[in-house]
Amino acid sequence: MTRVLLTGASGFIGRFALDHLVKRGVEVHAVSRTRITDAPHGVIWHEANLLDPTDVERVVQDARAEILLHLAWYAEPGLFWTSPLNLDWLAASIALARNFVSAGGRRVVVSGTCAEYDWQGGDCVEQTTPLAPATLYGVTKDAYRRVLEGFAAGGPFSLAWGRVFFLYGPREDARRLISSVTRGLLRGERTATTAGLQIRDLMHVDDVADALVSLGLSDVVGAVNIASGQPCRLRDAVEQIAEAVGRRDLLDLGGLPTRANEPQILTANVARLQTEVGFRPRWALSDGIRDTVEWWQSQLVGDAAAR
């Protein structure tokens, strides 16, 4: 049975990845600092702090996995773009890959980011859109890929790199766009957003996790965009939330100024994901938004009951 070592297993994407890995019938070794209580049956858990080199060695030795699906990174909303913690995660991630390959690992698959691309790029294509990360987060992810590509070129392992675009879904941090609008409207608060004319690719986190797992279990190498391939204006997504909640009256589109340096168009060419990996997303945006609204409803009902 193929053994997969999944890092960031308690994170936003990681929790969904657990389900998909279990469904595929692989032996799942999940790593996170603290074990989640509602993990699917059969997952083998390793509690570890990946920033601690001794923990990294122990987990790699204990799991003896063939495939590393490395999703863990610093991800605090707002702060992660520029935090020096990106350097710590880069150094730790280099050590992790090095250890994993030394211990016999044969495939490394990492979640990268659309922030590696030059954001003037428009519709980003893996092999041709220039890489020009404008943030420390993008710079460190991009550097990690470069190092792993160089390492893989001379090593007995294959490397795939999933560049994740924009995602949303149940359990997302409440400070992020889709979550914060959903919560605000569900609570009956007047909710302001930018005009939302930006064109983005939004993908349900369940599809993101499924796509990364599919990439991990495939033989595809190199960078692959992880995105739905269905661009939309952010205002359309926000309006769908308002419709699902039934509170279009509370939505103040344009009440917030558009941020400087935000690209107008940032979307993904998904030919590699769909043709080479053979992945198709399961969630249409409207269904995904309803799913997210329902999850937040259940949370807010829980909150109210607890009061």
Residue 140 CA, distance from chain mean position: 16
Kindly tell me which residue out of 37, 38, 154, 305 binds its own copies, with binding defined by CB under 8 A: 154
By the 8 A CB rule, do 163 and 224 touch? yes
Kindly tell me which residue out of 95, 125, 221, 265 binds its own copies, with binding defined by CB under 8 A: 95
90 part of the interface to its own copies, by CB under 8 A: yes
Q: Can you tell me the distance from the alpha carbon of 13 to that of 210, in angstroms, rounded to the nearest whole number?
A: 9
87 part of the interface to its own copies, by CB under 8 A: yes
Kindly tell me which residue out of 75, 103, 125, 143 binds its own copies, with binding defined by CB under 8 A: 143
Kindly tell me which residue out of 61, 78, 120, 146 binds its own copies, with binding defined by CB under 8 A: 146
Pick the stretch among 21-29, 84-92, 253-261, 284-292 that binds its own copies (CB under 8 A). 84-92
Kindly tell me which residue out of 25, 150, 246, 255 binds its own copies, with binding defined by CB under 8 A: 150
80 part of the interface to its own copies, by CB under 8 A: no
User: Tokens for 113?
Assistant: 């980011």
Q: In the complex, what is the shortest distance from the CB of residue 303 to its own copies, in angstroms, rounded to a whole number?
A: 37
Kindly tell me which residue out of 103, 147, 195, 199 binds its own copies, with binding defined by CB under 8 A: 147
Q: In the complex, what is the shortest distance from the CB of residue 103 to its own copies, in angstroms, rounded to a whole number?
A: 13
192 part of the interface to its own copies, by CB under 8 A: no
DSSP string, 105-119: --EEEEEEEGGGB-T
**Which CB, 90 or 289, lies closer to its own copies?**
90
Q: Can you tell me the distance from the alpha carbon of 245 to that of 252, in angstroms, rounded to the nearest whole number?
A: 15
Write the Ramachandran bin of 10: left for phi over 0, alpha for psi from -120 to 50, otherwise beta. Answer: alpha
Q: Cβ–Cβ contacts within 10 Å for residue 150, how many? A: 11
Q: What is the dihedral of CA 289, 293, 299, 303, to 10 degrees?
A: 150
Q: In the complex, what is the shortest distance from the CB of residue 209 to its own copies, in angstroms, rounded to a whole number?
A: 28
156 part of the interface to its own copies, by CB under 8 A: no
- The residue with tokens 């858990």 is 45
101 part of the interface to its own copies, by CB under 8 A: yes
Kindly tell me which residue out of 63, 71, 110, 136 binds its own copies, with binding defined by CB under 8 A: 136
Q: Can you tell me the distance from the alpha carbon of 294 to that of 288, in angstroms, rounded to the nearest whole number?
A: 10
**Which CB, 139 or 213, lies closer to its own copies?**
139
142 part of the interface to its own copies, by CB under 8 A: yes
Q: In the complex, what is the shortest distance from the CB of residue 259 to its own copies, in angstroms, rounded to a whole number?
A: 17
**Which CB, 22 or 147, lies closer to its own copies?**
147
By the 8 A CB rule, do 215 and 277 touch? yes
Q: Please tell me the count of residues contacting its own copies according to CB under 8 A.
A: 31
Q: In the complex, what is the shortest distance from the CB of residue 12 to its own copies, in angstroms, rounded to a whole number?
A: 24
Coil vs helix vs strand at 304:
helix
Q: Can you tell me the distance from the alpha carbon of 211 to that of 215, in angstroms, rounded to the nearest whole number?
A: 6
98 part of the interface to its own copies, by CB under 8 A: yes
Q: Closest Cα to residue 233, out of 204, 259, 199?
A: 199
Q: Measure the CA angle with vertex 300, ends 295 and 306; round to 5°.
A: 130
Q: Can you tell me the distance from the alpha carbon of 37 to that of 272, in angstroms, rounded to the nearest whole number?
A: 35
Give the interface with its own copies as residue ranges (CB under 8 A). Answer: 53, 82, 84, 87-88, 90-92, 94-95, 97-98, 101-102, 133, 135-136, 138-140, 142-144, 146-147, 149-151, 153-155
